[in-house]
Amino acid sequence: MYKLLIINPGSTSTKIAVYEDERKVLEETVRHDPDMLMQYERVTDQAPYRKELIQTFMDKNDIDLTEFSLIVGRGGPVKPIKSGVYEVNDAMIADMASGVYGEHASSLGGMLAREFAEGVGLKAYVVDPPVVDEFHELSRISGLKEVERTSSYHTLNHKAVARRHAKEQGAPYESLNLIVAHLGGGISVGAHEKGLVVDVNNALDGDGAFSPERCCGLPLRGFLALCYSGEYTMDELQRKVRRQGGLYSYLGTTNSKEVSERVKNGDQEAALIYEAMAYQVAKDIGQFATVLKGDVDGIVLTGGIAYDDLFVGWIKERVGFIAPVYVYPGEDELQALADGGLRALRGEAEVLQYE
């Protein structure tokens, strides 16, 4: 039997789990106050705070890491790489810590997994980091020669839920054309063509629908005016568009449940902004239907916001004509991380080295 510790930091939560082979025996989700997280200048500055939470979880549950086989963390933004299981090495830590490829809480998964692993002589792995690149060449063209479109999305959950859906349909993932929309603190919509994500909005760097905390597709002229207004440094603007945009910018909260309640209680501004977010997601789904030339076997909605029937209903009424819509609320990231780690331990998957 293999025993694994799984660490999955997200924008607004830290999820920790213990697996014995495929069986999850312990799980805890710690929710974070967004205003408290805003106090950290950089996402990586949160590492000591989140490490303490994980240590508290282990102490409370009498967890002895010397009894474990492996620690698996969620991967963060690094250079574009192929899908697979990677050992967390010095090069990966350096790129995640620098933020040169983007800043996201997922970077803390690999960093903290390695910290805990080194203390007891274990390996630390990440599975399908958010920069898995399966783009075809047309997808890379932005319209400005100096700027290339890049693949950065919620790879782990996209792939896990797409495979789950394919299994339920009795078909190989590699035989289907799907449009998958991850609806969380960030939103990513991708075209899955026969098992490859050939195009997807860059959910971290300002592409596609706005989300609870990110601006994404802004009109360039207005954004350039902000850049040269003299009111913001580069770091301040990056923080504004990645962590203080979207719902937070308009409504002062990143909590979609709170916004949905405000809508149901008659808040007209909340209704306008929340439906606009669904409207933009639907537009993205529509554009990716053209990437697949209209040959779409299904539209898959996942992530935390997919629990909200109001939001999902707004999307369905706009995209239902394209293909059947399937809803898988929440995410399967903990299981996907455990499955990837187990494949590596059993020799079913090569452990790749990041360079």
- pLDDT at residue number 352: 97
Average of pLDDT values for 294-303?
Answer: 98
Widest distance between CA atoms in the chain: 59
Helix runs in 169-267, H state only:
220-227, 234-243, 246-251, 256-264
* Residue linked to tokens 């697996």: 19
**pTM for this structure?**
0.84
H or E segment to which residue 354 belongs: none
Helix axes 309-319, 256-264, angle to 10 degrees: 80
Structure tokens at 8: 């999955």
- pLDDT at residue number 37: 82
By C-alpha distance, which of 263, 277, 204 is closest to 239? 204
- pLDDT at residue number 140: 96
* Residue linked to tokens 């500055």: 45
By C-alpha distance, which of 154, 156, 159, 162 is closest to 185? 154
Structure tokens at 338: 């455990």
Q: CB of 24 within 8 A of CB of 18?
A: yes
Distances (CA, A) of 120 to 123, 124, 125: 9, 11, 15
Average of pLDDT values for 222-234?
Answer: 95
Three-state DSSP at 134 gives coil
Domains, the chain, ranges and CATH?
3-132+333-353 (3.30.420.40), 158-323 (3.30.420.40)
H or E segment to which residue 307 belongs: none
Q: Which of 99-113, 276-290, 291-305 is predicted with the least confidence, judged by mean pLDDT?
A: 99-113
Which residues lie closer than 8 Å to 335 by C-beta, 6 or more apart?
A: 22, 24, 160
Residue 192 β-bridge partners: 178, 197
Band of pLDDT at residue 38, cut at 50, 70 and 90: confident
On the CB side of 135, how many CA atoms lie within 13 Å of its CA? 21
Which residues lie closer than 8 Å to 258 by C-beta, 6 or more apart?
A: none
Distances (CA, A) of 256 to 183, 204, 212, 232: 10, 18, 7, 28
Residue 148 β-bridge partners: 141
Q: Which of 219-241 are b and which e, b meaning 16 or more Cβ less than 10 Å from the residue's Cβ?
A: eeeeeeeeeeeeeeeeeeebbbb
- pLDDT at residue number 331: 82
How do residues 47-56 score in pLDDT, each as one tens digit? 999 999 999 9
How do residues 54-105 score in pLDDT, each as one tens digit? 999 999 999 999 999 999 999 999 999 988 999 999 999 999 999 888 888 8
- pLDDT at residue number 49: 92
Tell me the residue type at 179: I
Distances (CA, A) of 263 to 86, 255, 274, 275: 43, 13, 8, 10
Helix axes 107-120, 47-60, angle to 10 degrees: 50
